[in-house]
Amino acid sequence: QICLSLVKLLFYLAHSPLGSIVLLDFQPRQFVMVDGDLKVTDMDDASTEELSCKEDNDCTLDFPTKTFPLKCSAVGKCEGINEKKNLFNAYRYFFTYLLPHSAPQALRPFLSDILNATGDLRYGINETLKAFEKVLHLYKSGLYLQKRPLLLKDYISLKGFRMVEGEDYKCWPSYSHLGCLLSVHSAEEAAAICNSQSQCQSFIITQQRTWTGRPLASFQSSPTDLIPDANAVVYIKRSASSGKRL
């Protein structure tokens, strides 16, 4: 969410009515999330000036770890230098820390492609936004889910109940520090996640939604301690349902 919002912001800056705007003091502290969107807190260090040049050798974009040669345009300006400077700073301060770690396994190659392409400045801001929107579409639609054996048949569903909330086993990247609360596309994906975790014996699809509209599923190690809830369904592994406490 943070990276996509940043890319949308940089897309606007690259195509603003004032021309291409560069953020000269590009640091994470310069941004804040407001209602799910990333905003710049200080525009004092923004500039529409693009580096003047006489030849291509005048257009070198220098960073501490990389240097990029750019073209000198017919009007004597380094082509796209403001856009490229913003994009590489987004890569070094945001993408490298946030993109590789929390996406579903099937989507990680797409994010790795974005990471590599922006790190080498092979993508401009237009291509970067298009690539992010493709990943978001795959994520929201569930199209990233590979064909696999149906696992939900290995679970008993108990309608009209939910599990008592409490501290349970932890997983990553959980939305709750008390237990294992993950975003899922469907109960079938939740069953696959539960099967992949040795502690998991049951789960419930909660009423909570993430910013993409996907529901959160709560995974627990014990299928006991159920309480009535007309709007809920608990899914319990058949192998766990034979326990005498249930």
Question: pLDDT digits over 169-205, tens only?
Answer: 899 888 988 889 999 999 999 999 999 999 999 999 9
Choose, from 25, 45, 120, 225, the residue flagged as catalytic. Answer: 25
What pLDDT band is residue 2 in, cutting at 50, 70 and 90?
Answer: very high
Q: Which CATH architecture has domain 152-242?
A: 3-Layer(bba) Sandwich (3.50)
pLDDT of residue 167: 78
Instruction: Break the chain into its structural domains and give their ranges.
Output: 1-144, 152-242
> Residue 103: is its pLDDT beyond 80?
yes
What pLDDT band is residue 240 in, cutting at 50, 70 and 90?
Answer: low
Q: What is the pLDDT averaged over residues 82-102?
A: 92
Q: Which bin fits 225, alpha (ψ -120 to 50), beta or left (φ > 0)?
A: left
pLDDT of residue 229: 84
Task: Output the 3-class SS for the chain.
Answer: CHHHHHHHHHHHHHCECCECCEECCCCHHHEEEECCEEEECCCCCEECCCCECCCHHHCEEECCCCEEECCECCCCEECCHHHHHHHHHHHHHHHHHHCCCCCCHHHHHHHHHHHHHHHCCCCCHHHHHHHHHHHHHHHHHCCCCCCCCCCHHHEEEEEEEEECCCCCCCCCCCCCCCCEEEECCCHHHHHHHHHHCCCCCEEEEEEEECCCCCEEEEEECCCCCEEEEEEEEEEEECCCCCCCCC
Written as one letter, the residue type at 134 is K
Place of tokens 């580096």: 51
What pLDDT band is residue 245 in, cutting at 50, 70 and 90?
Answer: very low
More confident residue, 209 or 246: 209
Q: How far is Cα 177 from Cα 179, in angstroms, rounded to an integer? A: 6
The highest-confidence range among 77-86, 94-103, 224-233, by mean pLDDT, is 77-86
pTM to 2 decimal places: 0.85
Supply the mean pLDDT for the chain. 89
Q: What is the pLDDT averaged over residues 27-51?
A: 89
Looking at the domain that runs over 1-144, which CATH code has it been given?
1.10.510
More confident residue, 157 or 224: 157
Pairing of strands 226-237, 37-40: unpaired
pLDDT of residue 195: 93
The highest-confidence range among 40-49, 58-67, 145-154, by mean pLDDT, is 58-67
Is 56 tagged catalytic?
no
